[in-house]
Amino acid sequence: MKLSKRILYFVEYAAIRSTLWLIRVSPTRPTVHFVETLGSICYRVMGKKRRVAIDNILATGIADTPEAAQRIARASFRHFGAMLIEALKAEDQILENNWRDSVDVVIPDDTMALLNDPKQGIIVVTAHFGSWEVAAQCLSFFKPVVAIARNMANPYADELIQNRKKSHRFRIMPKYGPFGTRLFKPLEDGHILGILSDQHPRSGGMVLNFLGRPAATHKSPARLHLMTGAPVCFAYCVRLGPMRYRFQCSNVIRREATDDHDADQRFILETLTACMEKVIKETPEQYLWAHRRWRVPPTESNPVTPKA
């Protein structure tokens, strides 16, 4: 590593460490209010992201007018800032001995039985919705969580974040790498493998209708389930107020493998997508709309679903 890059990485690391300390010692409500205001400012100045968010909201029929789409998009920007701050605060405030004081829990009996079984690995799929970091923390109170995510380019900052996660039985596995035993191991150990599956895959996705529009969708949850037999569920954590949440899981999703691998994968992915669509429609202000999710053009085989 060049000396100049090493110095830059160290400066970034020092800035991140200082920011984490400042957030940790600052009172929650004023800090959240500040970053929500900052989110409103970002909404105004980040023109490209703002346009992507508004276009996505209108194209999916979540809002019928530009004014309604603008309101949802602005709320999404504000929510994202609050979510980041509260995720950091939650690491110190929402702990195994008190988390149910801050989190309402809605988990079906079949899923709860698996979460309470220390030998059963589970594939848990979520989206960039609500407070996904807090959702992972809630899951870690049942059993260790291994989340698939992209590592930070700065190795010093990446190690800092990794060490913070490990203290909560939560570690990050690199997103890009060979599909194989590195993903099987957490499931064999009875852990939770967490997957954020609502972004456009670089390659190899399956095209499904998502919120009425064709979108390439990650196959990983379906492939892992069919190859390992580990059950799948969808989970999310919706923000109810400052440091208040509802953590919810779907019923267990299973599919016996057949000779039609495409149909098997499609069943699992469409079931997960339906869960995702439901929570986004209920609380669209808490979804990350600024991502270019819909990059697949409508065709005769992948038509746009007309608005109801």
| Structural domain range at position 129 | 3-286
Match 């954590």 to its residue by tokens. Answer: 237
Distance between CA atoms of residues 35 and 30, nearest Å: 9
Task: Tell me whether residue 257 is in a domain.
Answer: yes
Percent of the chain with pLDDT over 70: 88
Could you report the per-residue pLDDT of 271-291, keeping only the tens digit for each? 999 999 999 999 999 999 999
SS3 category, 125: strand
Q: What confidence score (pLDDT) does residue 164 get?
A: 62
Task: Kindly state whether residue 163 falls inside one of the protein's structural domains.
Answer: yes
In a domain, 293, yes or no: no
- Residues 96-147: tens digit of each pLDDT: 999 999 999 999 999 999 999 999 999 999 999 999 999 999 999 999 999 8
Question: pLDDT tens for residues 37-66?
Answer: 999 999 999 999 999 999 999 999 999 999
pTM to 2 decimal places: 0.87
Any long-range contacts for 60-63 (C-beta under 8 Å, 24+ apart)?
Answer: 60/211, 60/212, 60/213, 60/294, 61/211, 61/212, 61/307, 61/308, 62/211, 62/280, 62/281, 62/284, 63/284
Residue 207 placed within a domain: yes
In a domain, 270, yes or no: yes
* 265: in domain: yes
- How many structural domains comprise the chain? 1
HSE at residue 147, side-chain half, CA atoms within 13 A, is 25
Give the side-chain half-sphere CA count within 13 A for 171. Answer: 10
As a whole number of angstroms, the distance between CA 161 and CA 263 comes to 39
Residue 302 within any structural domain of the chain: no
